[in-house]
Structure 1
Amino acid sequence: MGKVDELENYYYTTGKVEGDYVTDTEGGGESFPSSLISGIPTFLKSEVLPPETDMMEDAGVKAAMLGFPWEATNTCRPGTSYGPRAVRLASEHYLGYHAEYGTDLHESLNLVDAGDIGIVPGSIPKTFARAEKCVRNIVQAGAFPVVFGGDDSCPIPIVNAVAGETDGDVGYIHVDSHMDTAESVGGMKNNHATTVTRAMDNDNVSPENVALVGMNGPLNPPGGREFAEETGITMRSIWDIDDRGIEDVAEEAIEVASDGTDRVVLHTDLDVIDQGFVPGVTTPEPAGLTPREALKMMRVFAEGGIDAHVIVECSPVHDIANMSARVAVRLAMDVLGVRANPGGSGRL
C-alpha cells in the first residue's frame, strides 16, 4: 500500500486511529466525481492541446475551445480580458456530458482546451495576426473553434481566419444588442464597434450573407436601419423578435448566412441578453433576450450549420456570482450538443 492509500485509509477511519475502515463508497470516496471541484481549470475539464494543426489532427479533435483575453479596443466598461478565465471557472461543475442531448462532448467531439491566444499588449496587428493563425490551425485540422473573448473586436480575426481558409463564400451571423457597423472609431478601423464592417471587408463575405439579430437600445447609430437597407444586410431587432418569435427570426438568419456559402461564422455578444441575467458585460442593455431565448436561437443556428462560434464581452469584474460566464458556457455547450448529437431532441 502506497503512502497516499495509507493516508486515505487514515481519514476513512470510524473515529479510531487504528481499526476498521469504511469503504470508499460508504465514505463518499471513489463514487464522488472529485474532478468537479478539483484540478486546474480548463473548459469543461478538457485536456489541454495547443492550437497546432498536426497535433489536433493526430488527436482526432472535432471541437476546440480557444481563449482570446483581449480588450484593447473597448470604450465602455473594462474587464473582458479576464473573460476566458471566468468561463473556464464557470464550467467547473460540468463534466462534459450534455443530458439534454444525451451525449458526452468529450467522447463525441474529442473536445480540447487550446489555451489562450498570446496577446501583445497595445498591438492590434500582432495580436490579431496571432489570433487568426490559431483559428486557421484549428480549422485546418477539421475542428470546430469555440472562441471566448475578450471585447467585441475579437470576432474580426476569427472571421478573417475562416474566410481565409474557405475557397467559397462565408456567411456571418451577428447576435448583439448593437449593430457594430461603424467604419472606424477615432480613426481605428479594428474596433469593437466595427465588427460587422470588417467582416464584410473579406472578398468572400457578401452583405447578402450577413444577418444581424437582437439589436436593441439607444447606443445604436443614427441611420442604422438605412445602413442595413443600403448594404443589403439583414437586420432584425429585439422588437422584430417580439413580433415574430425567436425560432422564426433565427431560422431566417441562418438561411441568409448559409445561402450559397461554404461556411458560417456565428458571433454572440452576451449583451444581447438582458442585463438582469448577464450583469457582467461591457455594454449592458435592459430589455434584451432571456437566456432561454438565446439558447433557442443558438440551437437553431447549430442545427442549420455553423463552422465557428465566438462569444464575447464576458467581464467578470462586473459579474455577480459568475452569472454571465455561466450563460456563456451554456450557450457554447448547447451548440456543441447539437454538433455532437444532431438527432438529439434537446430535451430531458
Structure 2
Amino acid sequence: MPAWKSLVSLLALTGGAISCAHHGDTEVVPEHEREELLKKWDQEWSFSGIASFAHLNPVKCLIEPSENYDIAVIGAPFDTAVSYRPGARFGPRAIRAASARQMSGTSFNTRAGINPYKSWAKITDCGDIPITPFDNGLAERQMYEAFLELGSRKTVNVAPKGGDSIGTGHPKLVTLGGDHSVALPALRALYQIYQKPITVLHFDAHLDTWNPVRYSSYWQSEQTQFNHGSFFHKASREGLISNTTSAHAGLRTRLTGVDAGDYTNPGPEQGFIRIHADDIDELGPMGVVETIIARTGLDPEQPVYLSVDIDVLDPSTAPGTGTPEPGGWTTREFIRILRGLEKLNLVGADIVEVSPAYDNKGETTALAAAQVAFEIITSMVKSGVKEDLGGWYGRLYDGETAEAEAKSAEEVTRDE
C-alpha cells in the first residue's frame, strides 16, 4: 500500500476514535433511562464490589481536601515498631474484607436500636495513610499530619442531639491498624484539636506503658522510644493523656524483672486503672462496664479515645495478632462490654494489631475486628441521637418493643 494511503487510513481511524470519545464525553443520559439503570444495577451483594469498609463510599480523603464527613474510617498500614510478630500492615485490608457483610441496608443494630449507616451521620472510608516502612521517624510524622488533617475538617451534618459535647463540630476517626504505635500520633493530633489531655480507654492484653529501656537498656536512641509497647509511656510523658480518668482493661501480661515494678514505678504512665482479664470471672461483663464508667466518667466536656488491641481476645478466637496471650476474653464477652459503653464521649478510636498472616481460614480475627469497628461506629452515631432509642440487651425482643423503637426511629427521621 502506498505511504499516502496508509496515512489517510490512520487519520480516518484517529478521527473516528476522537469522534467517539467526544461523543461519549458529551452524551447525557435521559432521566428516565438513568432511573431504569439504577433500578436494574444499583445493587451490591455482600461478596461483590470494591473492598471498602462496610461497602462505604471509598474516597482518598488526604488528596481530596473538600471531602467532609462526620465519621471517617482510615487505614494505618504500619508495623515496623513491633517487638514480636510483624504483619499488621495488612490489617486494614483484612478488616475491610471481613466487613463485607455489613451493608447499609442490612445493618440495623438491635442492641442499639439504630442502623448507623442509615442515620444522621455521613460515614466515609477515607482509604489508607501512605506510611513509609523505611523510616519510623518519618512514619510518625506522616501519621500525625494525616490524623490532624482528617480530624480538623468540618462535619457534614449537625447531630440531632445538638451541641452539648466537646466533640460537636469535629469529625470522629476510626483507625484500622497497623500496630499499636499508631495510637501515639493519633493522640498527638487529638490533643492539638481539643487542647486538653485525652481520656484513654485501652483494651489490651499488655500494658503498653513500658519504659522503652525494657527492650534494651544499652542500645537506645530517640527512635527506639517509638514502639508498640511504649507509646502510652511516651504519650503520658508528653502530657497527652488524662491521668485521672484513663483505664486499661483485659490485661494478662507478664511483667519485667522479679516484682510488680511495672505497676508501681512512679511516673505519669501509671495514671491508668487496671482491669485484668481474670476480673471478668467475678465482675461479669457488666461489672467491667461499671468499673470503666466509674473511672472515665460521662463528662461531655472530656474527650475519650478508645484503643482496641485485638489481642485483648483469647488466641482461640483471635489468633491473627502480633503478640498473642492465652487467657483472654471471648469475642462475645468483649462485644457485650463495648455495647455497655455507648454513652462514653468518644472522639476517636482504633482497632489494631490484626496480622492476617497468622489468622485462620475462617478469618476469625479480622471478623472480630470488623465487628468491633461496627459496634464503635454504632455508639458514635447513637450518641448524636436525641431520643432514647432503647435497644436490645439480651432481653426478649417482643412486638411491643419493636413497635416502640420503630415509632422512635420515625420521629428521628421526621425531625431531620
Q: Distance in 1 between matches of 2:266 and 2:286?
A: 22
Equivalent pair of 2:74/2:125 in contact (CA under 8 Å):
yes
2:203 aligns with 175
2:118 aligns with 107
Partner SS state of residue 208, structure 1 = coil
Structure 1 residue 344 displacement after superposition: 4.2
Q: Distance in 2 between matches of 1:123 and 1:258?
A: 39
2:292 aligns with 253
1:333 aligns with 374
Structure 2 vs 1, CA of residues 219 and 203 (structure 1 numbering), >3 Å: closer, same or farther? closer
Partner SS state of residue 278, structure 2 = helix
Q: Deviations over 1:252-304 (max 9, x none)?
A: 32443347662111111010101111011111121101111111222233322
1:223 aligns with 261
- Tell me the TM-score normalised to structure 1 length: 0.83
1:72 aligns with 80
Give me the CA root mean square deviation.
2.5
Structure 2 vs 1, CA of residues 229 and 345 (structure 1 numbering), >3 Å: closer, same or farther? farther
The reply to whether residue 309 of structure 1 matches residue 349 of structure 2 is yes
Q: Distance in 2 between matches of 1:227 and 1:254?
A: 25
Unaligned runs of 5+ in 2: 1-38, 154-169, 384-388, 398-416
Q: Deviations over 1:144-200 (max 9, x none)?
A: 111011112121111111112112331111110111111214331111111321221
1:20 aligns with none
Q: Distance in 2 between matches of 1:285 and 1:326?
A: 19
Structure 1 residue 225 displacement after superposition: 2.9
1:210 aligns with 246
Q: Which amino acid aligns with 1:125?
A: G
2:280 aligns with 241
1:5 aligns with none
Which deviates the most, 312-321 or 130-139?
130-139
Q: Distance in 2 between matches of 1:129 and 1:262?
A: 26
The reply to whether residue 159 of structure 1 matches residue 171 of structure 2 is no
- Tell me the TM-score normalised to structure 2 length: 0.70
Q: Distance in 1 between matches of 2:256 and 2:333?
A: 22
2:225 aligns with 189
Equivalent pair of 1:71/1:80 in contact (CA under 8 Å):
yes
Q: Distance in 2 between matches of 1:251 and 1:219?
A: 27
Structure 1 residue 212 displacement after superposition: 0.9
Q: Among residues 116, 119, 123, which one is paired with 2:128 in the alignment?
A: 116
2:108 aligns with 98
Partner SS state of residue 316, structure 2 = coil
Partner SS state of residue 354, structure 2 = coil
Structure 2 vs 1, CA of residues 258 and 199 (structure 1 numbering), >3 Å: closer, same or farther? farther
Equivalent pair of 1:49/1:112 in contact (CA under 8 Å):
yes
Partner SS state of residue 302, structure 1 = coil
Q: Deviations over 1:99-118 (max 9, x none)?
A: 32443333322111111111
Q: Deviations over 1:87-110 (max 9, x none)?
A: 111011220323324433333221
Equivalent pair of 1:228/1:234 in contact (CA under 8 Å):
no
Partner SS state of residue 282, structure 1 = coil
1:35 aligns with 45
2:159 aligns with none
1:13 aligns with none
1:84 aligns with 92
Number of equivalences? 317
Q: Distance in 1 between matches of 2:175 and 2:202?
A: 14
Unaligned runs of 5+ in 1: 1-28
Structure 1 residue 325 displacement after superposition: 0.6
* Identity across matched positions, percent: 25
Partner SS state of residue 323, structure 2 = coil
Structure 2 vs 1, CA of residues 251 and 307 (structure 1 numbering), >3 Å: closer, same or farther? farther
Q: Deviations over 1:108-147 (max 9, x none)?
A: 2211111111111221222122212222223222211110
Q: Distance in 2 between matches of 1:254 and 1:161?
A: 24
Q: Which amino acid aligns with 2:50?
A: I
